[in-house]
Chains A and B, each alone.
Chain A
Amino acid sequence: MLSMLLRRLSLGFITVALVSIIIFTGVEFLPGDACTAFLEREAQGKLLENCRRDLDLNRPAIDRYLDWASSAMVGDLGVSVNGQQSIAELVGNRMNNSLLLAFCALLVGVPLAIFLGVITALWRDKPIDLVFSTAAIFAMTIPEFVSSTVLILVFSAWLGWLPGIVLTSANASAAEFFPEIILPVIVVAMVMTAHILRMVRTSVIDVLASDYVRMATLKGVPYWQIVFQHVLPNALLPAINVVALTIAWLLGGVVVIEVVFNYPGLGRMMIDSISDRDLPVVQAIALILATVYVSVNLTADLLTMIANPRLRTLHMRK
């Protein structure tokens, strides 16, 4: 178990390092740099030279990367290129906001998804299943920017019940984001619920069809006792992994939703800093997101192993 943990940790570290190299070269290969992005039409001659000198862009890319990487290792993410603000502070605020959005969405989405997933599985092919399964497919397939826009149009522009766009500053406290955060949470929760619901439904159906459940039924164990004692504990295990992946997606993958709602989270910051060519910020966010993905997956795997003894020995059998 320990050796496996170490192996997974070092693999995770390599993944994160690779991601940071890929991102750095990717942004470096884009035409233009922080100076041409800022100066636009005036990006020529002395102004451009001065700007490049001030921002230290004249050194070879590899030097700048190594510099950045070595300070990032000790937790110093540096300062943003044009704002001269501490990245740790900038990113920290955005990270909290993204976490807030994720937390609210999880709070709404996960219980709902598990509840509906179990219901649809137990009443498989009945009207209730058809309604929710179809709804889930819709929620998964309609692009987020469409559902966001429709929700804003209905609840903000027509009915006027909720504010449509988030106007709160990035450094505001969690409470200040209400009620502006409600619509983004609904959109995020909608997509997430649909994914988890379908996962839970499939896995409950699988367990219902398994031999031990059939055996229990034949032995005359009451239906609800089978469901609660045998089916649910076994069926919900795989859901842990899905929830973990969802958390990672929530932090980095809701870029579109953040942009549509003007929500000051990590995703929107990433987009903004790519267009500003603010490489240090892009790098920092990529690093954070990669770390989150790796560690969330690792945690999920560990949790599954704890819950399911059969997996603990799996890697020994070769």
Chain B
Amino acid sequence: MIKIKCCSALLLAVFASSVMAAPSGTFRQAHELGFGSSSSLDPISKGRVFQITEKIMSRLIRPGLDGKPQADLATSWSANSDATVWTFKLRSGVTFHDGSSFEAADVIYSLGRVLDPESGSPARSAVKMIDKVEAVDPMTVKISLSTPFADMPLQLMDYRLRMLPEGSGDTIATTGIGTGPFKVEKFDAEGTTVLVANADYWEGSPGVARMEVIGISDGQARLQALLGGQIDMERGITGQQKVMLSGSSKFKLQEIPTGNWRGFVFRTDVKPFTDQRVRKAVRLAADREALVALVLGGGGIVACDTPVEPNDQYRANITCPQDIALAKKLLADAGFPNGIDIDVHVATLEPSWPTLAEAYQQQASKAGIRVNIVQVPTDGYWKEVWMKKDVAATRWNERPADQALHEIYLSTAKWNESYFKDAGFDDLLSSARRQLDFNKRKALYVQAQEHLWENTGTFIPYTVTKVVGTTSRVSNLDEVKNDAVRWHKITVD
């Protein structure tokens, strides 16, 4: 009995401390300073520092811990029968950091900025099916689409689609006014950006009083800063670096599967890759398990040329073991009994590309595919090499299934890097978007991925597992991708 009392007292104490405690302590992390002095707090700008925007601004819908859409600034949503008109109920009583209240006009403004072609925002591709955003009443928004889209909520989860106060576009890059759990006290991209707890945050007061986001461009320096306890968290620790943290009581590690992938693009519009058999052969020649072990030190999950991430509800369950005999046969059938010679272009832009190319070279040689690795400069890679050379390395960050399939493989897609033109595949995607029944929709997306496995020119051997390291003083960091982390939950000792 005493034991139970003790336990409940302890539980109560823990409960009380996590709920009642005033924000305390400082949580520090680094960002890569990817865009130097062009860094910005505008969530839709190319130079956005997402490590800051994700803490100061909210979306209508966010990914829950299971990756599925969860209410954020929108509390509920519904679609009409053909999924062309969506109605979102907004959360009431939410205020921006400047004291103004969050209403439908802010949603219209924020989405309108992204959709404006003049803004040139990279986020536009995620929501370009939006035709019109209207206010039904101050707390209800109606979004009309130009095409049926059954998974509209997934698109609104995009990490860049943050809600800003109406009319703040000209100043947002430096003020960073949002509705998030933290407010900007000082923005200094190249130095230390200081965020303070937003006591009015709708989900409750944050656990830490202060966050510092520090610009450190060098990856090695970021790791040193973590090792020395100068920062509390570093996301994206490499396999080799992991060794330095694991086994030490000063650090905690999280391993989080992502949908980020690296691979090679074989252009389907140039010989010999115009032949589907050759495309399949070059992919069958790879031993993906071995590539994960060799290139990533085990820190990845095998993918069978699908750009859909492992934990996505639409991921197709395909197996793709190395099959040298079949690869050889396919090449012979296509008229290459003596194999083929290919130039694979890589740069150190992505440090793992050269290693991947070398490992693939070894594996593919068994099938008579003679790979010549061409090292090109990192500078201008995306402009001069990618989508220009017949075979080039590529990398993509995760996207929702529908978006990934559309952006990379649709015949008309701007970033159709393999020049993949397949009417049947396009049809599959558009019927999936129309299909309101989840199971039927899933079947269509799976079918589309299986179609890719047979036909695609894009070789995707794996998705990368992200290693997150924190100092041991950090608690309650959700073990999910940073997109879904509830930053207000974090506490530090």
Contacts and interface: CB of A to CB of B under 8 A. Distances in A.
- The judgment on whether A and B are partners is yes
Interface of A: 30-32, 36-44, 46-47, 50, 80, 82-83, 85, 90, 149, 152-153, 156-157, 160, 163-165, 167-172, 259-262, 264, 272-273, 275-276, 278
Contacts of B46: 38-39, 42
B214 to A, nearest CB: 5
B120 A156 contact: no
B230 A272 contact: no
A82 B36 contact: yes
B221 interface: yes
B38 A38 contact: yes
Contact of A261 (B190, B221, B382, B384): B221
Interface string B160-194: 00000000000000000000000000001011100
B192 A169 contact: yes
Contact of A83 (B37, B220, B231): B37
B380 A165 contact: no
B49 to A, nearest CB: 14
Q: Which 7 A-B pairs have the closest CB atoms?
A: A169-B191, A83-B37, A32-B380, A156-B228, A164-B228, A31-B380, A157-B227
A254 to B, nearest CB: 15
21 contacts: A30-B379, A31-B379, A32-B379, A32-B380, A32-B383, A36-B379, A36-B380, A37-B379, A153-B227, A156-B227, A157-B228, A164-B228, A165-B225, A165-B230, A168-B192, A169-B190, A169-B191, A260-B221, A262-B217, A276-B38, A278-B37
Given A42-B122, A82-B38, A167 B230 contact: yes
Q: How large is the interface on B (under 10, 10 to 19, 20 to 34, 35 or more residues)?
A: 35 or more
Nearest to A51: B120
B239 interface: no
B286 to A, nearest CB: 24
B36 A83 contact: yes
Interface string B22-37: 0000000000010111
Given A152-B224, A157-B228, A165-B225, A31 B37 contact: no
Given A153-B227, A164-B228, A262 B221 contact: yes
Given A32-B379, A167-B192, A272 B36 contact: yes
Contacts of A168: 191-192
A198 B486 CA distance: 58
Contact of B224 (A157, A171, A172, A264): A157
A50 B224 contact: no
A286 to B, nearest CB: 18
Contacts of B231: 167
A160 B386 CA distance: 45
Contacts of B224: 149, 152, 156-157, 164-165, 260
B452 to A, nearest CB: 21
A47 B120 contact: yes
Interface of B: 33, 35-38, 46-47, 120, 122, 188, 190-192, 214, 216-218, 220-222, 224-225, 227-231, 377, 379-380, 382-384, 386, 415
Contacts of B33: 272
Contacts of B188: 169
B190 A167 contact: no
B214 A167 contact: yes
Given A39-B46, A83-B38, A276-B36, A160 B229 contact: yes
Given A156-B228, A170-B190, 14 more contacts: A30-B379, A38-B35, A41-B415, A46-B120, A82-B36, A82-B37, A153-B227, A164-B228, A165-B224, A165-B230, A171-B191, A262-B217, A275-B36, A276-B37
A233 to B, nearest CB: 45
Nearest to B33: A272
Contacts of A38: 35, 38, 46-47
A66 to B, nearest CB: 25
Contacts of A42: 46, 122
A113 B68 CA distance: 65
A44 B310 CA distance: 31
A262 B218 contact: yes
Contacts of A264: 190-191
Contacts of B222: 165
A143 B488 CA distance: 44
Contacts of A37: 379
Given A32-B383, A40-B382, A164 B218 contact: no
Nearest to B36: A276
A164 B227 contact: yes
Contacts of B229: 160
A38 B382 CA distance: 11
B216 A36 contact: no
Contact of B120 (A41, A50, A157): A50
Contact of A152 (B192, B216, B228, B384): B228
B380 to A, nearest CB: 3
Contacts of A275: 36
A157 B251 CA distance: 12
Contacts of B192: 167-169
A253 B383 CA distance: 32
Contacts of B377: 30-31
A218 to B, nearest CB: 59
Contacts of B216: 165, 167, 262
A114 B448 CA distance: 75
Contacts of B383: 32, 36, 43-44
B38 A260 contact: no
Question: For B188, B216, B379, which residue has the most chain A Cβ atoms within 10 angstroms?
Answer: B379
Contacts of A31: 377, 379-380, 384
Contacts of B228: 152, 156-157, 160, 163-165
A154 B190 CA distance: 27
A103 B224 CA distance: 25
Contacts of B230: 156, 163-165, 167
